Chain A
Amino acid sequence: MTRVCTVRVGPLALAIAAEAVQEVAQGLEPVPVPLAPPVVAGLVNLRGHVVTALDLRAHLRGAADAPAGGPGVHVIVPLPEGPLSLVVDDVGDVLDVGPGDPPPDGLAPRLRALVDRVHDRDDAILLRLDPTRHARHARGRGAAPPPAGAPPAPTPAGAPP
């Protein structure tokens, strides 16, 4: 069983592994970063730390209707390179879920680039996010998913079991 923190982005029910979440913060106002990819909402001050905030709402809806409703809630996810804030509409319960399934092929590309596992709950389908993929989106220009076949799976040739 994995413990996940559920979040809402528009109509989507998403989940982030609870152990990956450092904290949830509200009332942070991102300062925009010119030249950053559109998914970057800006920088926020989290108790003296400068944290990059990614607006999941802008990303998942597409840049076209970017004006996101309300200030949103910042889910702080520590990554090796520093903490990352994922801006969502709302944070829900913490649930225990099973191993889940790989994301189905039919998933929209924007989502597919971020979603790690899918959990079929009685009341809803939960899409579990992999925060490290968000970090990738924050780098460089263009928030397109990584080019096909770019980072290969770690299968070193000739490695004995």
Chain B
Amino acid sequence: MKISKIELEELTCPSCINKIERTLSKKEGVQEVRVLFNSSQVKVTHQEDLISADQLVNLIEKLGYRVSGAVHSS
């Protein structure tokens, strides 16, 4: 299990939270998704062999959000 912290460009509309959380949590290998609206970050707990941090970034970008910052994994 791995926690990835993905930084997004400034999130402005709170409806983004649901959009991102719902889309990501439907994916296999994703255990928990939390959108930190106020710090414009997504924290994802996922199984790396099923879905990688890069794949997560890809999904978020497909929703129309730019990933701005580094992906911290721990």
Partners in one complex: no
